[in-house]
Amino acid sequence: MITPARPRPRRRRPGQFHAGLGIVCGVLLIAVLAPHLSPHGYADQDLLRSLQPPAWVKGGDWVYPLGTDRLGRDLLSRLMHGARVSIAVALLSVGLGGGLGTVLGLSAGYFGRWLDRIISRLIDVQLSFPPVFIAIAVMAALGQSLIKLIVVLALVTWVQYARIARANTMSMREREFVLAARALGADESRVLLRHVLPSILPPLLVVAAINMSSVILAEAALSFLGLGIQPPTPAWGSMVSEGRSVQSLAWWNTVFPGMAIAILVIGANLLGDGLQRER
Amino acid sequence: MGRFLVQRLVHLVWVLLAVSIFVFLLIHLSGDPIHLLTPLDAKPEDVERVRRLYGLDQPIPVQYLRFLRNALRGDLGESFRYQRPAFELVMQRLPATALLALVTLGLTIVVGIPVGLWLGARAGHAADWVISLVTFVFISLPSFWLGVLLILLFADRLRVLPASGFESPVYLVLPCLTLSVYTTGLITRLVRADVLEVLRQDFIRTARAKGVGERMVLARHALRNALISTVTVLGLQLGNLLGGSVVVESVFAWPGVGWLMLQGIQTRDLPLVRAVVLVVGSVFVLINLVVDVLYLYLDPRIRYDHTR
Amino acid sequence: MKRQGHDRDANGYRYTRRDLLQRTAALAATGVVLDRWGARALVLAAPGDRPQPVGNLLIVQGVDAESLDPHVTTSGASKGMMWAIYDKLMERSPEMKIIPWLATSWRVLNDTTWELKLRDNVFFHNGEKFGAEHVRDTIARFKHPGLRNVYAGQLRPVRDVEVVNPLTVRVHTEGPFALLAEVLSIYCEILPKAITGGEVDPTRRAIGTGPYRFVEWNPGSRMVLDFAERPHFSGQPKVRRLVWRPVPEAATRLVELKTGAAHLITPVDPIQIPELEATKNVDVIAFRQLSSQIVVLNSLKVRQFQDARVRQALNHATDVDTLIRTVMRGAAYRLNSAFGPGIPGHDEGLRPYAYEPDRARQLLSEAGFRDGFDVTLFSPEGRYLNDRLASEAIAAMWTRVGVRTRVQVMDWSPFVQGVLGKTHDAFFFQQVGVLLDATVSINFDSDRKGAAWQGYHNEEANRLIQDAIKTLDATRRNDMYKRLNQIVYRESPWVFLWNQQGVYAKQKRVKGWTPHVDGIIRLGDINLG
């Protein structure tokens, strides 16, 4: 989980941003419309059709376009429903973590003194925790649940936003337009909301986009280890794990969910990259 | 420098304290550990007796204080499952994980930096486009998926590499390959970007105007900046590597601390999990300390402030 | 392209095919193949014409041993490893018959005394000669309250062990203890004085009388055993070195077997069977496991379950054969009652409850629940093969006859707490009868209340259970269990499902080994042919 160390060169590639946005929105759309779009239910079993190959391979048919898993469940439908988990976790964790981090970083940077000291200490301590390691430990101990997963990932990532928010707020604090607003008697919250926040938002959005790809990968890894959401809801990571027992015979169970993860992450990375260049 | 070091060491103590409390709460909040330590067909009186022997009948704060007292004496408790000192178990498995991390880092540096430098110098060429695309994909692949695919290809289909375990150096190949794909992609892109930025800066143009050899200019400044970025990012990546190692160790049955922790949590082996998290946490902080020092050394322009 | 050099020990020692061929020829020439199992007297081959053990055998299991201390280990995987190093007083044949081992014979002297005759010429790996004192000291240690031994209670009725002479002990018990032989065939591995005296730490070094000697254990990585120098009374081990490795992923275990890096793997996911059967040089061994898969009905919590007709109705409402065919993919065997084959009390004559949903509705109606009622079926997640899937299918079947069922899936720890706390309406469960009698039947006893007891009450059943463990005559005891089985079958506090299929996979060249139906690996004559 990196934060940008230096500003990127000015080479313009606006196509990246749009491509990334397209991919992410595409997945979001699929996720939202999954119950209507998917050809079958994600839990519908047909044990007679178990481990059927994709349609274009001998033995497959277009009723189950990407093949079936060991219980005869349609892979395409499960992929679509799995998108819901990935997108939900991606957006909500980033939102929650970002929101929390921004608020805390803003407060620390603006109000300073003891608030800053506490929050900075908190940031420091948490930065010393290897993030995914801790997420794994927590989820393994607390059990599976979508909510817990989102909260845990948010709690592990908020520091990245907080640091940037704090640093930028501190520099904003002394800028003329802020000083002017305060001189004019505007109350603090107004200043914060109308002047400071909009200025520090752009770099935070960049962090959010980059963070999103890390969060998606983390969720996939946790699901793979069996520590993510509760079955029977499909998640791409756990689908890869389920496909492992039959990976020689039925490669599609392992390959397609992994590809889905990679595509979404590529989209998030394109988004992040594109956001940086557009600055 | 001395003051800085002392500051960081104090920080280490804070962190360890927080981590130990965290792990304690974690294991206890997730239900009665005794059910995972004893089989269902054990008689109730035996279960209770064993519970008392493990000290699990004491209230939680008492258990924690007892742990603290022992920890200060260097005793991190005995693993419930293995009945050996937890610290010893962790230290026994740490080298395998450390080896994995080091070889991965080594591979990353050896491949990533030169390729990144080379690409930066040839920005815009066909090779640049292709390799940039490749690295972009590299940083988007889930590590466990890659590991599974590599096993499928090299161990199952081609039969040229072993699938799991750690019996000899060749067993390192697949796990390290899996882990280093992400980090190498990252470093390559980073170094490339740094090179491009350096090429843009004014003093390069001035140096060129003065006729100083372009090669030398490139070498000194670009390399220096590349190293700074690399050091920063690798330091941060260490966290990822440790987390990534849990997954990769599980896939490859690699006898390291990541897998040990996972097993410990699943069997509610509290002393073991505590010991793993404490040791790994300390290592992590120490490495970050080294990174900070290196950073200061490499780039005296950066002024150290409290939040780095 | 075949890769040579799979025969490689932990130190990288390489073994060529040529050596193997030569050794095999020598083996065949001496023509001595000892059958380890069965009650036949075992004859020691004369020293000098005993073939040298050869080869390195690599066994891959899903989990690692918990400890080197056999009295503390609980998992089947650990036991398998321990029993290569340590011996018990009795052993079990693959059909689970009790056979002499370190004890050559045993008999009941009176209601409170057993006499065991011990085997002569048995030595520990550190040179100590095995004798009565070792039995006394080991049992004392096994029962010691300071030891984290969750099975100490199994030997609670033992008051003390008297050394009559170096090869004879008398075990004095509180009241009649009918199951001493059963217990000693599963628990209480015999330890040397070096360990019971405290000189050697059993969690670091294992010293036993078994056919293999401990070399090293790297937790999580491998355990290495070499053949013991002194011949073992069951026939010398044919393998020179044994290496056990834990690999948690079923898919990876499969790859290890296919590439020849492992010679024997367990457990095998049934869905991998077709692939394994299609692989050359690999054998798949499937057997009927001892553990019973059932649904337990809690009559303390659900008052409808207090009526036997309701419980019978649920048995009739569950289409077990279809479940076995679809959910378990044929990898299970129908249970006809509480006790499957191999367990005392098993009755071949009992016909399993037929799938008759109409009869189920009729019974419910007779019991006064024509409009049905609501129930929650609890299931653990991933603890038993296809637990959740089976539960969901069963819930659908029950709902169809009017018992509206919803499934609640839980993590193991809270699930167990619900079982013990008797808070689950009904739950999908497995009963493992390691001792093959008392352990399972205690769940029907409303006085003693086993872990899975959920309210079933029958006076005669209680009496049978409590008397059986005091009945020293094995035939009479088995008749009592049969009677118990018939009662429980009729009153069905459980819905009887199946025995799962246990699956091992091994390289074809691994010979001389048969699996035991309790799923624990006992090595026997295992060799690389």
Question: Which chains touch B (3+ CB pairs under 8 A)?
Answer: A, C
Question: pLDDT band at C143, cuts 50/70/90?
Answer: very high
Please tell me the pTM assigned to this model. 0.79
Residue C306 predicted with pLDDT over 70:
yes
Please tell me the least confidently modeled range out of B31-45, C37-51, C486-500: C37-51
Q: Which residues of B touch C72 (CB under 8 A)?
A: 83
- How many CA atoms within 13 Å lie on the side-chain side of A91? 11
From CA C468, how far away is CA C455, in angstroms rounded? 21
Question: Cβ separation of A47 and C388 shorter than 8 Å?
Answer: no
Question: Which residues, numbered 206 to 245 in chain A, qualify as contacts with chain B under a Cβ-Cβ cut-off of 8 Å?
Answer: 213, 217-218, 220-221, 224-225, 237, 240-241, 244
Is C254 in Cβ contact with A245 (below 8 Å)?
yes
Those residues whose C-beta lies under 8 Å from the C-beta of residue C36, and which sit 6 or more positions away, are: C42, C234, C235, C524, C525
The CA radius of gyration of chain B, in Å to the nearest whole number, is 24
The per-residue pLDDT for C41 is: 31
pLDDT, residue C435, reads 64
DSSP-derived secondary structure for C187-218: S-----HHHHTTSS-TTT----SSSEEEEEEE
Q: Quick one: three-class SS letters along C492-508?
A: CCEEEEEEEEEEEEEEC
Angle at C420 between CA C414 and CA C422, to 5 degrees: 95
Is residue C11 over pLDDT 60? no
For residue C37, pLDDT over 50 is answered with: no
Q: A100-109, A185-194, B47-56, B67-76: which has the highest mean pLDDT? A: A100-109
Q: How far apart are CA B265 and CA B245, in angstroms?
A: 16
Question: Residue C20: its pLDDT value, please?
Answer: 37
Amino acid at C113: T
Nearest Cα neighbor of A31 from A236, A279, A246, A243 is: A236
A184, two tokens:
């004019």
Is C72 in Cβ contact with B89 (below 8 Å)?
A: no
pLDDT band at residue B206 under the 50/70/90 scheme = low
Number of H helices, E strands in chain A: 10, 0
Q: What is the tens place of the pLDDT at every residue in C459-511?
A: 898 888 888 888 888 889 889 888 989 999 999 999 999 998 888 999 999 98
pLDDT in the model for residue A231: 65
C405 DSSP 8-state letter: E
C353 closest CA partner among C377, C374, C330, C336: C336
DSSP line for B74-128? T---B-TTT-SBHHHHHHHHHHHHHHHHHHHHHHHHHHHHHHHHHHHHTTTSHHH
Q: What does the mean pLDDT of chain A come to?
A: 82
pLDDT of residue C404: 92
CB contact under 8 A, C275 and A231: no
Average pLDDT over residues C147-156: 85
**pLDDT tens across C193-226, in order?**
999 998 999 988 999 999 999 999 988 788 999 9
Range scoring the smallest mean pLDDT among A103-107, A220-224, B292-296, C416-420: B292-296
- Identify the CA nearest to B186 among candidates A166, A265, C80, A277: A265
Whether the CA torsion A136, A138, A144, A147 is positive or negative: it is negative
- pLDDT tens across B122-181, in order? 777 888 888 888 998 999 999 999 998 998 889 888 888 888 888 888 899 999 999 999
ipTM confidence score? 0.82
Instruction: Give the mean pLDDT of C333-361.
Output: 89
CB proximity under 8 Å: C 180-209 to B? 203-204
List CB contacts (< 8 A) between B18 and chain A.
125
* CA A100/CA A163 separation, integer angstroms: 12
> Quick check: C263 pLDDT over 80?
yes
- Over residues A101-130, the mean pLDDT reads 83
For C257-319, the three-class secondary structure string (H helix, E strand, C coil) is: HHCCCCCEECCCCHHHHHHHHCCCCEEEEEEEEEEEEEEEECCCCCHHHHCHHHHHHHHHHCC
CA distance A115 to chain C (A): 40
R_g of chain C computed on alpha carbons:
25
Q: Is the pLDDT of residue C21 over 50?
A: no
